[in-house]
Amino acid sequence: MSGLTTHILDTTHGIPAGGVKIELFKFSGRVRTKVRETVTNDDGRTDSPLLSAEQCMPYTYELLFYMGDYFRAKGADLPDQPFFDVIPVRFTIQDHTQHFHVPLLVSPWGYTTYRGS
């Protein structure tokens, strides 16, 4: 299996983060182009891969996770400008035949990500 997938886990509430807006961009040099916009489902995942095997090409990509909106909707006590409002994760795909999974573990005050499987 190849392509690009993600999921988000809300570590504050111990649940998958459903309803989070995600944007995917690719870079060609300094030119950033929006590839896709989607929203996570109740399992904190997208209903389909962000990029299929055919679409997953060698580029630098950036995911934007709109976590401020999510935590506001959950009733989190956030300042007007949350510490982490939109979280960018930039990565490079070189071998487009592999599967790339970029999970996000997040709270209003911190996050971590890694290359998953």
- How do the pLDDT tens digits run along the chain, 117 residues long? 679 999 999 999 999 999 999 999 999 999 999 999 999 999 999 999 999 989 999 999 999 999 999 999 988 777 777 788 999 999 999 988 899 999 999 999 999 999 998
- Report the CATH number that the domain containing residue 15 is assigned in CATH: 2.60.40.180
Q: Residue 1 has what pLDDT?
A: 61
Domains of the chain: total: 1
Nearest to 110 by CA among 89, 87, 90, 91: 87
Q: Which domain holds residue 29?
A: 3-113
